[in-house]
Structure 1
Amino acid sequence: MIIAGSPGSGKSTYAREIRRENDIIIDFDELRKAISGKSHEDIKDFELINNMRKTAYRYIKEGKTKSRFIVLSTEAEEKKLNYLAEYLNADIYVMPTTQEQAKEFVKKR
């Protein structure tokens, strides 16, 4: 499953709400912060994160585990999102939050 939406749209919260016991949530923004302490806007570690993303996607595609994967994505381009969903054989859920609502949520963090 892919949960798509702008930063602050509630992707992480929704993923935690629908998570089942053996689900694996993949959030590359959180991974970047954990590795480098940098936000989504600072892409100095882009190559590392991009390689991790590719490795994770290959792992999901190969079906080496019975766990359900929930991938959080800020990808806004529908064509790219659909390509990823097809590649991973995944459903897409787009957060209904508007960009204005997401910006307000981020300000409150």
Structure 2
Amino acid sequence: MAPNQREIQRQLSKKYNIVFDGPIDSIQNPTWPGTCTAIFRHIQELGKKEYAQYREGISADFARVPWKYQVQTRAKRIAEKAKQCINARKNESGWRLSLESEVMARFTVEIAW
């Protein structure tokens, strides 16, 4: 009897030493490569931020950095689009079509210091 797809994936994961730790915030003693530790720690910290904490702040820099005042609105739009992707059970290309333009829009804005 031929092994099913799940078993094939399990064997390939074992062969190539691929380990899935689970949600990043639930890992107690991670065994990440040293070069990735700082990145994953930053991801953990970002994951602990509450939505209310991640919002526009009032400052005198508005003329210099107007994009800062749109961060929460953009985050809300991206989260809503992600929920729609989950509910529609979209694949990777569907997610990319739905979200990529919104995520990448920030990089099209000219920033002058």
Higher fraction of strand: 1
Structure showing greater Rg: 2
Higher fraction of helix: 2
Task: State TM-score, norm by structure 2.
Answer: 0.31
Task: State TM-score, norm by structure 1.
Answer: 0.32
> Per chain length, whose mean CA-contact separation is higher, i.e. which structure has more relative contact order (CA < 8 Å, sep 6+)?
1
